[in-house]
A and B are shown apart, each in its own frame.
Chain A
C-alpha cells in the first residue's frame, strides 16, 4: 500500500478530530476528538517510519501515547472539577473569563 494512502487516512482522521473539536461542546467529546488527532499523527508516524525503514517514528509514537495518557488524566481531572463547579461539561458554560 502506498505511503500516501496511509497519510491520507491519517489526514482524514486528523481533520475529523479537528472538526470534532470545532463543533462539539461536550468537553468529553472534545477530549476524544483530540485523542483522534493524536492517533492520526501516530498513524502517520508509524507509516512514515515504515516507509523510510526507520525506527525513530515508532519510538515517537510511544511517547505520544505516554503524553496522551498523561493528558487524559489531566483532561478528565479538569472535566470532573469543571463538572463539580458548573454541573455540566458544556464548554459554553466556561464563559466567566472574557473582556
Chain B
C-alpha cells in the first residue's frame, strides 16, 4: 500500500510539474491526464473506487477531451510559444516557495480531529462505496445535487454563448 502511495505521489507530482512546464499545451494536457489517473489511484487507495471511476470519467474523459479538442480547434500547438517573463518567473518562484513552505508547515504541524465517523473502511467496503455515496447524494445532499444540475445547464448556455461565432 505504502509503495503504491509513493508511486502515485511521484507520478502525480511529476506530471503536475510537467503540466506547467511543457511548452506545448497538448503535451501539458496529456500530462494532466496522467496526473488525473494518479489521483484516481489515490482514490482507490482510499477505498473510494466510485470516485476514482468518476475521476477518470469526468476529468480524464470529459474535461480533458474538451481541452484537447479546443487545443486542436485553435491549433494551439502550432502557434509560436508564449514567452514567460523572467522577472515574473523569479517572483513567482519565491512566492511559490513561500506558499508551499507555509502550507507544508501548517500541514505538518497541525493535526486532524479524532476520527468520529461511523463510515470506517470496513463499513464502506461492506456496504459498498457507490451505495453509500448514492444514499448521501440523494438524501442529505439532494438539494446541492439539484443545484448542480442547474449549474451545469447554465454552464452549457454559457459555453454555447461564448463559443458561438456570432449571435
A interface residues with partner B (beta carbon < 8 Å): 1, 3-9, 11-20, 22-26, 28-29, 31-33, 35-36, 39, 42-43, 46-56, 58-59, 61-63, 65-74, 76-81, 83-84, 88-90, 92
Contact = CB atoms under 8 A, between A and B. Distances in A.
A61 B85 CA distance: 35
5 contacts: A13-B16, A16-B13, A35-B59, A35-B63, A88-B79
A62 B89 CA distance: 34
Contacts of B67: 28, 31-32, 72, 76
A55 B39 contact: no
Contacts, number: 231
A68 B155 CA distance: 10
Given A4-B108, A9-B9, A52 B19 contact: no
B74 A19 contact: no
Contacts of B62: 69, 72
B69 to A, nearest CB: 8
Contacts of A56: 136, 140
Interface of B: 1-2, 5, 9, 12-13, 16-17, 19-20, 22, 25, 28-29, 32, 35-36, 39, 42-43, 45-48, 51, 54-55, 58-59, 62-63, 66-67, 69-71, 73-74, 76, 79, 82-85, 88-89, 92-93, 95-96, 99-100, 103-104, 107-108, 112-113, 115-121, 123, 129, 132-133, 136-137, 140-141, 144, 148, 151-152, 154-156, 158-163, 165
Nearest to A6: B42
Contacts of B121: 50, 53
Main DSSP-derived SS at the A contact region? helix
B154 A70 contact: yes
The residue in A26, A31, A78, A90 that gathers the most chain B C-beta atoms within 10 A of its C-beta is A26
Nearest to A9: B9
B108 A5 contact: no
B59 A65 contact: yes
A81 B133 contact: no
Nearest to A26: B82
B152 A16 contact: no
What 9 pairs across the A-B complex have the smallest Cβ distances? A77-B162, A20-B20, A53-B117, A70-B155, A54-B117, A73-B159, A22-B92, A19-B96, A15-B100
B119 A11 contact: no
